[in-house]
Amino acid sequence: MALKDTLTVMVVDDMSVSRGLLTQALDSIGIKNHNWVKDGEEALKALSAKPVHLVISDYEMPKMNGLQLLGGLRQREATQRIGFILVTGSADPAVINEGRRLGMNNYLQKPFTAASLKTCIEAVVGKL
């Protein structure tokens, strides 16, 4: 069985269009085990109850941005080893450096393609 058949992914994004683009891209590269939530607070709660292999999170969100979510995940034993990809519209070096400091595994710049998402995911989890 291929990794893409067993990998579980959570998409975290407050914008329905962005969530849709990410989930469509996941479908197109063959990752079917994915779900989504609208913000970091909801993600932390859901992931504490049922961790996934990989989180793909937007940076700019209300309540809790992507880096705050990452920090929260890394502080909890049940979620500290979850792979984390930050999706951002601007690859501000300060944001990327802070993400790396917090334990971000990779980042993806918007706009993205399904191929660039696949490459980004494979850098974290291995060949799909």
| Range of the structural domain that residue 19 is part of | 3-123
Domain assignment present for 111: yes
Our CA dihedral for 45, 17, 84, 62, rounded to 10 degrees, sits at: -50
Tokens 């799909």 correspond to what residue? 128
Domain assignment present for 79: yes
Element (H, E) at 87: strand 83-88
Domain assignment present for 128: no
Give the distance, in angstroms, between the CA of residue 7 and the centroid of all CA atoms in the same chain.
13
Instruction: Kindly report, residue by residue over 28-78, the tens digit of the pLDDT.
Output: 999 999 999 999 999 999 999 999 999 999 999 998 999 999 999 999 999
Domain assignment present for 72: yes
Total domains in the fold of the chain: 1
CATH value at residue 61:
3.40.50.2300
Instruction: Kindly report, residue by residue over 98-122, the tens digit of the pLDDT.
Output: 999 999 999 999 999 999 999 999 9
Give the distance, in angstroms, between the CA of residue 72 and the centroid of all CA atoms in the same chain.
14
What is residue 82's DSSP assignment?
S
Q: Give the pLDDT band (50/70/90) at residue 1.
A: confident
